[in-house]
Structure 1
Amino acid sequence: MPDITAARRPFPLILTVAIVGGLALGAVDLVAQRELPYPWANLANSSAVWAVGAFAIGAWVRVGRWQPAFAGTVLLVVAVESYYFAATLIQNDDLANLWSPTSLIWMVFGVLAGVVFGTFGAWSRSVSLWRSVVGLGALGAVFFAEAGVLMRREPEYRADGLATAIITAAIGLALILLLGRTWRTRLLALAVAVPLAALGFAGFTLAGFGS
């Protein structure tokens, strides 16, 4: 059920906010990895944190059949290029990284995550209970799934990732508790987050993030 009380945002505004948000996300992510102390620097390099960007802009767009997914996609694709461009300016990395195979792969992941979490962000603001529960549960689930991946890593990396895993799981829980509009929504979202986290963990593993 769409939220008929929410105004549809103009497309030029959606596009502008997505581009500006992507530029900020990519650049801030690189700087945070360089400047933050452990384990917060590890958190800056988190796929779940990037998913929050798509979720947030989807929640802001809120209504529209395709606009939230589009906004999330643009934000994450721009963020990938912003990250590599910032690395060129700050670390003297090769500018060719912007169009390298690695960059293209990350942009493909950005399209997938942007569509999924942009949509979930819009769902989280819906007047439909099941959509708001699934949308909010998915946000917590991506953090729980990433925490599982960090704890499953090979022994030489496991100790390094344990503190980050604890923080990541705590953030997932906190987001559900803070963003849920009622205790019923919060509890249902936590219940939904468990199977979604299992699916997310499988997806991370298949994509090669589990090692």
Structure 2
Amino acid sequence: MIIMWALPAGFALGFLDFVWIKYVPYPFADLGNSLGTWAVAAFLLTYLGRRRMAVSVAAAILCLVVAVPSYYLAAALIQNDDWSNLYNTTAVLWMGSGVVAGLVFGAGGVLARTGGRLRRPALALPAAVMFAESAIELLRIGTPNADTAEQWEYAAVMAGLGLLVTVLLVRGWRERALVLAWSAPLTAGGWILLTVAGFR
């Protein structure tokens, strides 16, 4: 059952996410701090889980919420961070973000495999969140404390992953092109929401 998989998946996502940040070189290390990475994980959980909407969305939310304290657990064990990070205000806020992302991308994973008019927009969600994060990174160029070369590198990695996930999820080049066309307005919407939420 997908709910049973959500707990270990969430624990692994959070714990391994910190390990990834700690030991993988830049720019790939920053994928651990990527909102898009976690959102796509929730999408894939429900896309591959093959369960109905309510159960799938609940599993996606559970996965992302569990991942937050798991991340801080890894930080406490590996680099002696404060144990209160597992449950402090920052952790709670990230868990709240996990609920929102789980709702959107968990539902998207279900819609992407069930057909109908919403299938293509749903399939475009993973690319859109990656492209939106790439756009935010590019718009940081020229701001104080921004390293132009690093911003370009990370933005390129995110954009490349957006294209890669579309190629892997969607069959046929015509269908991929249509899904990527849907990703354009979704990217714009995602960029606006992330900017309003302070992720810039």
The TM-score, its normalising length taken from structure 2, stands at 0.94
Report which stretch shifted further, 201-210 or 147-156. 147-156
Q: Which stretches of structure 1, 4 residues or more, deviate above 4 A after TM superposition? A: none
Are positions 1:30 and 2:30 aligned together? no
Residue in structure 1 matched with residue 68 of structure 2 by the alignment: 80
1:181-201 Cα deviation digits (max 9, x unpaired): 233431211111000000000
Are positions 1:171 and 2:161 aligned together? yes
- In structure 2, the CA distance between the partners of 1:182 and 1:126, relative to structure 1 (3 Å rule), is farther
Residue in structure 1 matched with residue 196 of structure 2 by the alignment: 206
| Aligned residue identity for 1:161 | Q
Residue in structure 2 matched with residue 10 of structure 1 by the alignment: none
| Unaligned segments of structure 1, at least 5 residues | 1-12
| Unaligned segments of structure 2, at least 5 residues | none
Residue in structure 2 matched with residue 64 of structure 1 by the alignment: 52
Instruction: Report the CA distance between 1:155 and its aligned residue.
Output: 4.5
Out of 99, 108, 112, the residue aligned to residue 120 of structure 1 is 108
Q: What is the percentage of aligned positions where both structures have the same residue? A: 41
Q: Is the 8 A contact 2:134 2:156 kept in 1?
A: yes
Aligned-partner Cα distance in 1 for 2:96–2:52: 23
Aligned-partner Cα distance in 1 for 2:147–2:55: 39
**Which aligned pairs between 1:150-189 and structure 2 lie closer than 5 A?**
150-153=137-140, 154-159=143-148, 160-189=150-179
Instruction: Report the CA distance between 1:44 and its aligned residue.
Output: 2.0
Number of equivalenced pairs? 197
The TM-score, its normalising length taken from structure 1, stands at 0.89
- C-alpha root-mean-square deviation of aligned residues, in Å? 1.3
Instruction: Report the CA distance between 1:174 and its aligned residue.
Output: 1.4
